[in-house]
């Protein structure tokens, strides 16, 4: 099972994730409490061992700015986490992850419209969701035949990731707040999440 640790803002957390076996490291360049500057991301990326692929997360950003940050920082994958068009999603020369807010079956059935490499399923940001809320794994299991491009996010924690993987069988799982304590990446939770995801 592939694992993505997202919202990284420190070298120590990134190294912990990489050394524990994370396959993808996510850096958020959009407005967020986990936002990181391109300069800081570049500094971190240059000190990593290169085992994990680096993902740049953007929300409704211009194509030119995303390409500039990609070249400057050395990220390997673009993640679109806004209302980007199908045309924009298909405009990159490197792999693309498109995030989708999933509320119901109608939302889920729209994900194949985008010409992207990976489809990330997440909780709606405006749902007022609690930390205990997750996506409807049963619905995803019921509706999805092919999962070889599916990245499951939305409420995952070290405690529930094994169950989620067993039911949904995605290509990868993605976590950010689920491996934090008091708003900061918790190194023990990172290690435990990766361990349980790869059981």
Residue 127 contacts residue 102 (beta carbons within 8 Å): no
Question: Which residue would you say has higher pLDDT here, 141 or 25?
Answer: 25
Task: Say which residue, 104 or 100, is predicted with more confidence.
Answer: 100
Can you tell me the mean pLDDT for 21-38?
97
Q: Does 40 score more than 50 pLDDT?
A: yes
- Decide if 161 contacts 138 (C-beta within 8 A): no
* 76-to-53, 61, 66, 70, 183 alpha-carbon distances in Å: 6, 17, 12, 8, 26
Predicted confidence (pLDDT) at residue 53 exceeds the cutoff of 90: yes
The structure's pTM equals 0.93
Calculate what percentage of the chain has a pLDDT beyond 70: 96
Token pair in block for residue 169: 């069988």
> How many Å is the Cα radius of gyration of the chain?
16
Do residues 178 and 169 touch, judged by C-beta distance below 8 A?
no
Higher pLDDT, 130 or 15: 15
126 catalytic? Reply is no
Count how many domains the chain has: 1
40 φ, ψ (degrees, to nearest 5): -65, -40
Which position has the higher pLDDT, 107 or 74? 74
Catalytic-labelled residue, pool 6, 76, 112, 126:
6
Question: Among the options 31, 112, 122, 136, which is catalytic?
Answer: 122
For residue 131, pLDDT over 70 is answered with: no
Which residue shows structure tokens 């850096």? 27
Higher pLDDT, 187 or 85: 187
| Residue 83's CATH number | 3.20.20.70
Chain position carrying tokens 């993605």: 174
The 3-state DSSP composition of the chain as helix, strand, coil percent (nearest 5) reads: 35, 20, 45
Per-residue pLDDT of 182-195, as tens digits, reads 999 999 999 999 99
- Is residue 174 part of the annotated active site? The answer reads no
Per-residue pLDDT band for 1 (boundaries 50, 70, 90) equals: very high
Domain enclosing residue 139, as ranges: 2-197
Percent of the chain with pLDDT over 90: 75
Alpha-carbon distance of 27 to 165, in angstroms, equals 24
């Amino acid at each position: 099972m592939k694992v993505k640790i997202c919202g990284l803002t420190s070298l120590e957390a990134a190294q912990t994730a990489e050394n524990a076996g994370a396959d993808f490291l996510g850096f958020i360049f959009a407005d967020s409490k986990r936002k990181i500057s391109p300069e800081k991301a570049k500094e971190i990326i240059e000190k990593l061992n290169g085992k994990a692929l680096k993902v740049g997360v953007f929300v409704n950003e211009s194509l030119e700015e995303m390409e500039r940050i990609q070249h400057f920082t050395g990220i390997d994958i673009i993640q679109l986490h806004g209302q980007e068009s199908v045309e924009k999603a298909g405009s990159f020369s490197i792999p693309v992850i498109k995030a989708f807010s999933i509320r119901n079956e109608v939302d889920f059935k729209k994900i194949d419209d985008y010409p992207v490499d990976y489809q990330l399923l997440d909780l709606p940001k405006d749902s007022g969701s609690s930390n205990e809320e997750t996506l409807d794994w049963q619905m995803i299991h019921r509706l999805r035949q092919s999962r070889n491009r599916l990245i499951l996010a939305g409420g995952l924690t070290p405690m529930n990731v094994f169950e989620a993987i067993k039911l949904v069988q995605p290509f990868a799982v993605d976590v950010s707040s689920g491996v934090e304590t008091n708003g900061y990446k918790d190194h023990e939770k990172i290690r435990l999440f990766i361990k349980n995801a790869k059981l």
